[in-house]
Each structure stands twice: as C-alpha cells, then as structure tokens.
Copies of this chain bind each other. A is one copy, B any other.
Amino acid sequence: MVFAEVRSDPINAAGLLAKVGADEDGVALLFIGVVRDHAEGRRVEGMRYDVYAEMATEVLHKIALEASERLGTDRIAVVHRFGELEIGDVSVGIAVSSPHRAEAYGASRYMIEEIKRRLPVWKKEHYADGVSEWVEGTTPPGTGLDGSTHALPLADEGLA
C-alpha cells in the first residue's frame, strides 16, 4: 500500500524501510535527501521548506502511484518534510521494495526526479553571512499557457 506524507516532524528513515518489504521482494531501496552545508559554492547553515500542504500531499501520492507502475509493487513509502531544518536533517525519504532491483532503482529515481519537478515545495537557504534566499527552482509542467517554462522576474529581483 502506497504511503505518501508531507510533515513537519522529523523523518524516521528506518521507519520508512519498515513500511515496505514483502516475502516476495528481493530488494529494498531507501533514498534520503539531507540538508547539506553548501549550495552553489555558498556556505549553508540551515534551510526552511515551505509547502502547499494539501496539494503537496496529493501530488506526492500521485507520484508514488506513478512510480508503483514502474516498480511493479505498491510497496512505496515517501515522506517530504517542511519547516526549519538543520544541516544533516532529512528533508525527503523514499523507500521502495520489489522482487527485482532494476525496478526498485527506476522507481526510486523516478520519484525524486518528479518531486523536484512538480511537488509544490520551496526551500529558502540560510547562508553563513546571515542572508536567506529562496532557491531557484523548476517551473512545474502543465502550467502557464503552453506548458513551457518561464523565467520568473521575481527570481531576478533577488526576492530573498
């Protein structure tokens, strides 16, 4: 059963693994996204994730269902965190299990790529010099007039 959640509490990575797995599965794969201490050459001290919670939960669930087709099983648990995070904190966790490894790698990778492409989540990095800035992101597909991406003047104006 696909499990997808957006939450502000810490993510228990081992707990995600425990949500997947079956006697018929030969592999399990756990992907963890972690807040790292640098970005584009700048020193990062922490991060805030904003989220459009109701929609993100829906989108995350949809991504997991799509991944399930690739995986061949519904043994998927995915969680994205929001709020203030410190270096080393887990921002996203993706656990899958399946009889064979190719499908597990494919489904896991699919999910993290889709999360970055279309999950309505934004991160603001807190730099060592005291400045905080929204990370330049990706315009989700299926938006705008024709689905093409657009440069947002907001980003250029350095909206921090």
Closest-by-CB residue of B relative to A116 is B101
A27 with B31: CB separation less than 8 A = yes
B26 with A33: CB separation less than 8 A = yes
Copies in the complex: 2
| Chain A residues bordering chain B, tally (CB within 8 A) | 30
A136 CA to B112 CA, complexed, in Å? 35
B37 with A27: CB separation less than 8 A = no
B35, B99, B105: the one within 8 Å of A36 (CB) = B99
A33 with B27: CB separation less than 8 A = yes
A interface secondary structure, majority? mixed
B36 with A32: CB separation less than 8 A = no
Known: A30-B29, A105-B109. A38 touches B21 (CB 8 A): no
The chain A residues found within 8 Å of chain B, CB to CB, are: 13-14, 17, 21, 23-38, 87-88, 97, 99, 101, 104-105, 108-109, 112
The 9 closest A-B pairs by CB, nearest first: A26-B36, A23-B37, A30-B30, A28-B32, A14-B14, A23-B87, A29-B31, A105-B109, A24-B36
